[in-house]
Chain A
Amino acid sequence: MSVPPALVYGLTGLFLFVAGLAGLISCAQLLRKILAANIMASGVFLFLVTIGHGRGGVIDPVPHAMVLTGIVVSVSSTAVVLALACRVQETANIHDLLKRRAGGDRE
């Protein structure tokens, strides 16, 4: 007996979602968190497309359309988050520099 492909896709989507969630809560670096959130989103997309394939061979176009929209939304939110992460990085570096300079003055 062969495994139906829809089952593999659906479970893979769920696994990607959970793996992304694991990365999101256990990684401390911002960039890893962003990547993890993207992996979560990919899992959701895969799962939705699989759901749209449907039981009984009829393809439901509504989840497909939602995934198309979701991909674009995910790209734009990633861009915003990356820009924010760059700002955080820059600000953190400035704080580091100021701290170091203050420490150097005291010595």
Chain B
Amino acid sequence: MTGNESTGHRRGMGLVPLFNLVMLVALFAALAWGYLAPVSGSSGLAHRVDAALVESGVESRVTAVLLNYRAYDTLLECFVLFLGVVAVWSLRPFRYDRHDPSPGLILSSLVRLLVPLMVLVGGYLLWAGSNQAGGAFQAGAILGGAGVLLLLTSSPLLSALPRGLLSCGICLGPVFFLMMGLAAMVLGRDFMEYRGEAAALAIVALEVVTALSIGLCLAALFGGRRPEAGQEGAGKAVPSQDGGEGR
């Protein structure tokens, strides 16, 4: 873990790195052999995806896979993000020094210009997801990036955001996903089985909510600690002695 240990290990042990190198080269050779070996009779799932695209409710195949055929994938991913935020928040916040918490005039005005633009681009990507490249993840990543920018410049916008709203937004993704899946069951289909007319609507709703939730989760993960209760609803900049990223 510390530097002393590693140099101590390296000194006087020439055999172990050599062994490692040989094993790694062998592993690479085995993987490459597996990759280059000719495969017979496997054409992937492309044809089956295309065949069912009509009743999936979207025209983009990746979106159809993510939110319809393999919705479990996306559901569990939302849960992974949620659990990640919970895990990060449940650790005791660590202390670190940041010498200059106040951003300069240029940086803060640039962020003020950029963030609405990023929200716009995120919205466009979300909309584009139904028939071309794009979708909830890309939009969520852009929104998360906007959140990271706001965090880095300790924007007063963040401290105006009530803490409950943040928690709700983070929970919203998995909960909404589960509710839509259960709604499909209520309507007489299987869990998360969306077909036909209703599927388009369901997928758009899922995408919007998932993108928002993913963006919030990513920004919260970057924040690294739970915002303190004392700052709830504070309308002005946070007194930032330890990083200035409270919300």
* B104 in contact (CB, < 8 A): no
* B109 in contact (CB, < 8 A): no
Which residues 51-107 of A sit at the B interface, judged by CB distance below 8 A? 52, 54-56, 58-66, 68-69, 71-73, 75-77, 79-80, 82-84, 86-90, 92
The residue that A60 contacts in the complex, of B20, B21, B44, B214, with Cβ under 8 A, is B44
Q: Are B44 and A18 in contact, CB atoms less than 8 angstroms apart?
A: no
Q: Which of A14, A27, A68, A87 has the most CB of B within 10 A?
A: A68
Chain B residues positioned under 8 Å from A71 (CB to CB): 137
Q: Could you tell me the distance between the alpha carbons of A36 and B130 in the complex, rounded to whole angstroms?
A: 35
Q: Are B44 and A62 in contact, CB atoms less than 8 angstroms apart?
A: yes
Q: Are A61 and B73 in contact, CB atoms less than 8 angstroms apart?
A: no
Q: Are B137 and A30 in contact, CB atoms less than 8 angstroms apart?
A: no
- With both beta carbons as reference points, the residue of chain B lying nearest to A17 in the complex is identified as B31
A-B contact count (CB 8 A): 130
Chain B residues positioned under 8 Å from A7 (CB to CB): 36
- Closest approach, in angstroms, between the C-beta of B130 and any C-beta of chain A? 14
The residue that B74 contacts in the complex, of A22, A69, A84, with Cβ under 8 A, is A69
Q: Could you tell me the distance between the alpha carbons of A56 and B3 in the complex, rounded to whole angstroms?
A: 50
Binding site for A on B (CB under 8 A): 1-3, 5-6, 9, 17, 20-21, 24, 27-28, 31-32, 35-36, 39, 43-47, 49, 61-62, 64-66, 70, 73-74, 77, 80-81, 83-85, 87-88, 91-92, 94-96, 135, 137, 140-141, 214, 217-218, 221-222, 224
- 25 residue pairs of the A-B complex, CB under 8 angstroms, read A10-B35, A18-B27, A21-B24, A22-B21, A25-B20, A28-B1, A28-B3, A30-B1, A47-B35, A54-B46, A59-B46, A61-B45, A62-B44, A62-B45, A65-B62, A69-B73, A69-B74, A72-B140, A72-B141, A76-B83, A79-B88, A80-B221, A87-B92, A88-B1, A89-B94
Binding site for B on A (CB under 8 A): 7, 10-11, 14-15, 17-18, 21-22, 25-30, 47, 52, 54-56, 58-66, 68-69, 71-73, 75-77, 79-80, 82-84, 86-90, 92
